[in-house]
Amino acid sequence: MAYVEGFVTAVPTANKEKYLAHAREAAAIIMEKGATRFVETWGDDVPRGQTNDLWGAVQAKEDETVLFSWFEYPDKAARDAANKAMTEDPRMEGMAKDMPFDGSRMIYAGFEVINEDGPGGAFGYLDGVVVPAKTDRKDDYVAFSKQAAQVFLENGATRVVDAWGDDVPDGKHTDYKRATHLQDGEEVAYGWIEWPSKDVRDSAWAKVMEDERLAGGGDRGMDGKRMMFGGFAPLLEV
């Protein structure tokens, strides 16, 4: 089963080019250690929420942009081996001393991919989502994820991925658990939708919201009121 290390980060907007250079350096190391894909996306349409949102997830400031990023691995063993190798690589220590963002507010976790659909390839826009899901209703969440993926793909998406929290650490200032207001009996779910362009994504959402397969409500094994989401432009894909 594929495995994902998923991140949400707040980066000073003025540091975009510095962050991109930093990400390229990190990508070279991470791919060397066994990742199969490295993606960074830059916040473009990230709404504020009533209960929680991706801004609050990383305590983003007004002069910062929220990023949604991930590493893909063939399985958890490959991810664990890569993380161990990175902690022993002196290049990572050097990068940590000169980061163009506040790493203490970055949230990250390991997720097991529970559904992946679509041909994929280079993409022009992304929808990212983080949501608390009921642990004992995982099957319901997987079923909903598969159904939703078909709707998105029929309306122009090129790839849809949903993943289930597996290694979700506590953070110093914030983390996925606090960001989703996680309750007993819940786990963090993480996923994204890849689109060929923002125009395709924008026109698709109107149709998606009217699709009877998704408009019926019902128990989907998650709390949509605490869902965090946003639209992102590609920044780096390796």
- Contact call for residues 132 and 138 (beta carbons, < 8 A): no
By the 10 Å C-beta count (0-12 exposed, 13-18 middle, 19+ buried), 76 is classed as: middle
Model pLDDT, residue 188? 98
Q: Which whole number is the average pLDDT over 200-222?
A: 85
Number of domains in the chain: 1
Could you tell me how many helices (H) and strands (E) the chain has, helices first?
8, 8
Model pLDDT, residue 225? 93
Q: For residue 218, what are the domain limits?
A: 3-237
10 forms beta bridges with: 66
Task: Report the CATH number that the domain containing residue 139 is assigned in CATH.
Answer: 3.30.70.100
Tens digit of each residue's pLDDT (9 = 90 or more) over 118-143: 999 889 999 999 999 999 999 999 99
Written as one string, the DSSP assignment of 126-173 is EEEEEEEEEGGGHHHHHHHHHHHHHHHHHTT-SEEEEEEEEE----SS
For the entire predicted model, the pTM comes to 0.96
Q: Which whole number is the average pLDDT over 135-164?
A: 96
Q: Which whole number is the average pLDDT over 68-86?
A: 97
